Structure 1
Amino acid sequence: MATKVAVVTGSNKGIGFAIVRGLCQRFDGVVYLTSRDISRGRNAVAELNKEGMQPRFHQLDITDPTSIEVFRDYLKNNYGGLDILVNNAAIAFKGNAPDPVAVQAEQTIFVNYFSVLSTCDFLFPILRNGSRVVNISSSAGRLKNIPSEKLRNRFKDTSLTITELSSLMQQYVDAAEAGTHAAEWGNSSYVVSKVGLTALTKIQQRMLADRDIKVNAVHPGYVDTDMSSHRGVLTIDEGAAAPLFLALDAPNSVKGEYVWYDKKIVSWEED
């Protein structure tokens, strides 16, 4: 039987690091801790080694298609496939960031939506039947956070394609550049990026349903990490609980869902 493989993107610290820890404790297979920076990734592996965990490390920069392709080929050549993919890598500008709105919009959507999509485009073909994909979204990724009813209806349209969704995301970037985004999109690029990721989750599940692959989005809670400027109230291990539930424990009936940090399915579209 082929060795099972789990991958967590952006996992040298924070929630991703804790997800790797949890997988090492319970997953019957090889766990890959990945990060853009090689030294930080290896240091994170060494830290887990001290706890008796044995994750593997591979460099992965989700913003670099060549990096993703190299990793895909490595997994394919060494294991023949992939069984768990946790799309955790993301960025968030601080509230007092001096960068212009247009720059924040372009960079946030590029990393949190387009680069995750690119990662999926490379890695989904090597997912084995029965695999699980966990997209780390946010409470910010709830549809109610988009002011425009017209846009909300587009996002939740069950016939929406990835091409159409990507066009929507680009429309936001263009509106931010023109300074016309606030009325329809609101004032948070992070919100738009995570709404896009949750919408992507719904589409991916529809596309992969015939391969018995489960794709879910999760809000891990308000966690004490660099991303939250350490204002979060949950530990990273508490933040990893719901993602690990989806990766390892959720019933097969849980697919294409938006799950809260308490492991309960919530409506993406309603309050």
Structure 2
Amino acid sequence: MSEKIAVVTGSNKGVGYAIVMGLCERFKGTVYLTARYEENGKDAIAKLKKLGYQPLFHQLDITDQTSVNKFKKHIQTTHGGLDLLINNAGILFPMDAVESFAEQAEKMVAVNYFGTLRVCEALFPLLRNNAKVVNISSSAGHLYRIPSASVRDKFRDFGLTIPKLNEIMENFVMDAKENKAQQEGWGNPPHCAYVISKVGASALTIIQQGLFNHEIPNRNISVNHVHPGLVKTDLNSNGNLTIEQGARAPLYVALDANFKGKYVWSNCQIVDWYRQPTPASIILLKIYVYFGVNLKIKFEL
């Protein structure tokens, strides 16, 4: 049998780095750490080797088709396929970003959604039987982070295809550039840019699982999306979890879980992506009740 291969995108730091570390401890096979910049990736490899881990490195920029093609060719010619793909690479603009809302929307959708899709389209043909795919989403990726019911309905459409989803994402970027995002129901700028990029990635996950369920011959592939928690990284200074804590749920889904097409919270529990309330809103409600705050909260069930 061929040696098992795991790939983690955007893994030279943060949660991706911790995921690689966890896989090196438990995954029975070769683990690839990938990074957009070769120097950053090799520095991360050196740190992990000092800790006794032995991952391999390959440059991978998910926004660059040439880079993705080179990585695909390397995996195909060197290993013949792969068994685990964790799509971790993504970006989040800080609260005090100087970039315009339009620029943030375009960049985050390009990376968090279209970049993830680009990697999937390249590597999915190489997935072996019983392979697993984990798309790192966010609490921001829950459908109900979008305020408008009409916009939510576009993403919850059970007949949604990848080309239709691509069009939805492109329309959001266009509305952002024309300063119409709020009036069109996407949410409040600039925060809705990250929300839409992650909702798109989560919707993509559900479509991908449906396609794998009906492929012939069926490879028994699972695709799930995970909210790793509010991790304190250079992307999110407001986080309260360590990167190791943030890697817990992705590693659980990658190595232990047997479900398909599910949205998994940072506590490793499955959450209904289509409906409220989310665990975050439940916790908030409990806090309000505990402190005697009189609020009128309506959940759409």
Give the TM-score normalised by structure 1: 0.97
Q: How many angstroms apart in 2 are the aligned matches of 1:166 and 1:52?
A: 42
SS of residue in 2 equivalent to 1:130: strand
Per the alignment, residue 257 of structure 1 pairs with: 262
SS of residue in 1 equivalent to 2:268: coil
Per the alignment, residue 192 of structure 1 pairs with: 196
Per the alignment, residue 3 of structure 1 pairs with: 3
| Deviation, structure 1 residue 117 | 0.4
Q: How many angstroms apart in 1 are the aligned matches of 2:267 and 2:150?
A: 31
From 222, 230, 241, the counterpart of 1:214: 222
SS of residue in 1 equivalent to 2:176: helix
| Deviation, structure 1 residue 211 | 2.2
| Deviation, structure 1 residue 120 | 0.5
Per the alignment, residue 284 of structure 2 pairs with: none
Point out where structure 2 has 5 or more consecutive residues left out of the alignment.
278-301
Per the alignment, residue 127 of structure 1 pairs with: 127
Per the alignment, residue 244 of structure 1 pairs with: 251
- Per-residue CA distance 1:23-70 (angstroms, 9 max, x = gap): 000000000000011111011011010111000000000010010100
SS of residue in 2 equivalent to 1:182: coil
Which residues of 2 match residues 88-237 of structure 1 at below 5 A?
88-183=88-183, 184-187=185-188, 188-209=192-213, 210-229=218-237, 231-237=238-244
Percent identity (aligned): 53
Q: How many angstroms apart in 1 are the aligned matches of 2:156 and 2:83?
A: 28
| Deviation, structure 1 residue 232 | 1.1
Q: How many angstroms apart in 1 are the aligned matches of 2:222 and 2:6?
A: 14
* Structure possessing the higher radius of gyration over alpha carbons: 2
Q: How many angstroms apart in 1 are the aligned matches of 2:249 and 2:198?
A: 17
Q: How many angstroms apart in 2 are the aligned matches of 1:66 and 1:56?
A: 20
Q: CA RMSD in A?
A: 0.8
Q: How many angstroms apart in 2 are the aligned matches of 1:98 and 1:56?
A: 36
Q: How many angstroms apart in 2 are the aligned matches of 1:24 and 1:58?
A: 16
Task: Give, as a single letter, the amino acid of the residue that structure 1 aligns with 2:118.
Answer: S
Q: How many angstroms apart in 2 are the aligned matches of 1:49 and 1:124?
A: 29
| Deviation, structure 1 residue 17 | 0.1
Point out where structure 1 has 5 or more consecutive residues left out of the alignment.
none
- Per-residue CA distance 1:58-104 (angstroms, 9 max, x = gap): 00000100101000010000110010000000011111111111111
